[in-house]
Amino acid sequence: MELIDKLNWRYAAKAMNGEKVEQEKIDNIIEAISLSPTSSGLQPFEVIVITNQELKEKIRPISWNQSVITDCSHLLVFAAWDTYTPERINKMFDLTNTVRGFKNEGWENYRQMLLSSYPQKDAEVNFNHAAKQAYIAFSQAISAAAFQGVDTTPLEGFDADALDEILGLREKGLRSCVMLPIGYRDTEKDWLVNLKKVRKSKEDLVTVID
C-alpha cells in the first residue's frame, strides 16, 4: 500500500537543508490537520505556522539547540486550549448547527452534557485532554507530509513555558504541546538518515483475542 511505503520512507529528520516546501504541499498538510477527528468535534487546539527566520532563531535555544528548528522550511507549533470553557464549547456546537442548517435535540442534549461537565474539571486535566486531540492532528500532519515526500521532525524536546512566552500563547488561552519542523532532509549532515528503522516485534506490540 502506497501510504505504508511512505510511512516507511519517513523518519525523524535530524538535519534539514533549508529548502522551501511548496505552498500546495503545506496547504495539504494544513488540510489534513483540519480534517483530523477530535473528541466531540471540538478541535481544541490551534496551529502556529512559522517561516519567520528571526523567530525560528529565538526558538532554537529553548529547543536543545536543534538545527532543524532554523533549517526547516515551516515550523509548526501545536497549541492546545488551556481548558474547556462554555464559550469554546458553545462556539463549536453553534457552528455545527449553522453548517448543518438545523438544530437536533440529541445534539443539544449532548452540548448540555459537555457544558455541565467539562468546564468544571481541573484546567490541567482539560489541557491534557485537549493536547491528546492535538496529537491526533500532529500525527495526520506527519502522514500528510510523508505522503508528499516532505520530511518532518516530531519534536517534544523544548521548554513549553518559554515557547508560550515567545509566542504569547497564554494570553490567548493556549499552551504549546508539540512542534513539527517541516522541510527536506539534509542527507549529508544527518546521522540518522542511513540507520535502520527500529520497531518492537509485532508480538510485543499486538495481542489478538479471537
Give the residue among 65, 37, 50 at the shortest CA–CA distance from 180.
Answer: 50
Q: Which of 87, 122, 188, 210 binds a second copy (CB under 8 A)?
A: 210
Rounded CA gap, 210 and 196, in Å?
33
| Count of all residues that appear for the chain in the document | 210
Q: Which of 62, 119, 139, 162 binds a second copy (CB under 8 A)?
A: 139
Residue type, 12: A
Q: Which of 17, 85, 154, 162 binds a second copy (CB under 8 A)?
A: 154
Q: Which of 136, 160, 162, 193 binds a second copy (CB under 8 A)?
A: 136
Give residues 177-206 in contact with a second copy (rule: CB under 8 A).
Answer: 195-200, 202, 204-206
Q: Which of 36, 66, 67, 176 binds a second copy (CB under 8 A)?
A: 36
Tell me, by CB under 8 A, how many residues bind a second copy.
Answer: 63
Give residues 97-126 in contact with a second copy (rule: CB under 8 A).
Answer: 99-100
Rounded CA gap, 29 and 27, in Å?
5
Q: Does residue 7 interact with a second copy by CB under 8 A?
A: yes
Instruction: Copy the grid coordinates of residue 114.
Output: 459537555
Rounded CA gap, 34 and 11, in Å?
23
